[in-house]
Amino acid sequence: MTRPRKPEAHPEAHPEAHPEAHPEAATPAPADADAAPRKLVVAISSRALFDFEEENRVFETADDTAYMQLQLERLDVPAPPGVALQLVRKLLAFNTSERERDRVEVVLLSRNDPVSGLRVFRSARHHATAIERGVFTRGRPPYHYLRALGAGLFLSTNVDDVRAALAADFPAAQVYPQSVRAGEAHPHEVRIAFDGDAVLFSDEAERVYQREGLPGFTRHETRKALLPLPPGPFKPLLEALHRLQQASTSGAVAMRLRTALVTARSAPTHERAIRTLMAWNIAVDEAMFLGGLDKGPFLREFQPDFFFDDQTGHVESAARHVPAGRVHSGVHDKP
């Protein structure tokens, strides 16, 4: 499983000779054996969970009164699945019994009004998605409830809410509602793919690339190959997924978890990314060092339930094949 964070998408370096010397490698931090298992709380907006695009067009062209009336008229009509529904349902499958139901919780955190929230809860029940808690703010930013909820991930279609959540140190991504829905090829396995820089890792290396271009980036990363990258905004989520993966490999749950690092890095800059994960005591199941190739076709083959990246181009490419969202973090994010 993986738990890396990387700076925003940075160019991929083409293979070059490894430098003769690297700085000393950091000693991996020992796992905290005494730490109590922590629940992963996923906060999600209504449009990220269900397909409310038709209703949203009414909201954008009229006012919230017309939108509320439409939702009320459709109260008994289950909303179609949204981009992140399959991810949420699979994560909830880690709650295997009354005794072991605290591994994952999904809560609604939405700009919807409370009346429209009735339809959201009913739709969740229709799709056999166990959601009991919800906060509805009728157009006001909801992100400030993340701390009270103990959220470990926030998924929303609203870019301002996502940026605010990331600024408050919560892993968050803007769900692209036009994304292709997740496939059904792996019903008993959660598959999640991450970009590295500015997502799992900080954007330190990407900033070097912006200043010095590919040659400077390659020199910087090969020189620091043994020095772990600073963590990015999604390292905490990777750690939480690692705990879930341990539960699945122990046989405690039937659902499995598979992670992938999908990055523009290539040899020799790949080494620092791998060594960073080693220093974190986290292993991803797959790693793709694509050196500038389009990520979309590779993600189509991996078939993730969700892909996180910090660059618009990569997310748009991915969204043609898989569910995807943008992490508005690092040097590439300009409001």
Spatial contact of 156 and 162, defined as CB atoms under 8 Å apart: yes
In 150-178, which positions are buried (b, 16+ CB within 10 angstroms) versus exposed (e)? ebbbbbbbbeebbbbbbeeebbbbbbbbe
- In this structure, are 201 and 299 located in the same domain? yes
Alpha carbon distances (Å) from 124 to 51, 81, 114: 12, 9, 15
Instruction: State yes or no: cis peptide before 268, omega within 30 of 0.
Output: yes
Can you give the pLDDT at residue 331? 85
- In this structure, are 150 and 206 located in the same domain? no
Can you give the pLDDT at residue 101? 61
- In this structure, are 193 and 166 located in the same domain? no
Can you give the pLDDT at residue 250? 79
Can you give the pLDDT at residue 30? 40
The residue assigned the tokens 């912006």 is: 210
What positions carry a catalytic annotation? 195
- Sign, CA torsion 246/240/90/263: negative
In tens digits, the chain (335 residues) has pLDDT values of 444 444 443 433 333 333 333 433 444 444 443 344 589 999 999 999 999 999 999 988 877 899 999 999 999 999 999 999 999 999 999 998 666 568 999 999 999 999 999 999 999 999 999 999 999 999 999 999 999 999 999 999 999 999 999 999 999 999 999 999 999 999 999 999 999 999 999 999 999 999 999 999 999 999 999 999 999 999 999 999 999 998 888 777 889 999 999 999 999 999 999 999 999 999 999 999 999 999 999 999 999 999 999 999 999 999 999 999 999 998 888 76
The CATH number covering residue 73 comes to 3.40.50
- In this structure, are 62 and 136 located in the same domain? yes
Is 5 among the domain residues? no
End of a domain among 131, 150, 175? 175
- In this structure, are 193 and 300 located in the same domain? yes
- Sign, CA torsion 311/312/314/318: positive
End of a domain among 130, 148, 175? 175
Is 139 among the domain residues? yes
End of a domain among 150, 175, 200? 175
Can you give the pLDDT at residue 158? 97
In 13-35, which positions are buried (b, 16+ CB within 10 angstroms) versus exposed (e)? beeeeeeeebeeeeeeeeeeeee
Is 51 among the domain residues? yes
Is 334 among the domain residues? no
Q: What is the DSSP letter of 135?
A: E
Q: Which residues constitute the domain of residue 123?
A: 40-175
pLDDT digits (tens, 9 = 90+) for 221-279: 999 999 999 999 999 999 999 999 988 887 778 899 999 999 999 999 999 999 999 99
pLDDT digits (tens, 9 = 90+) for 265-286: 999 999 999 999 999 999 999 9
Instruction: Say how many domains are in the chain.
Output: 2
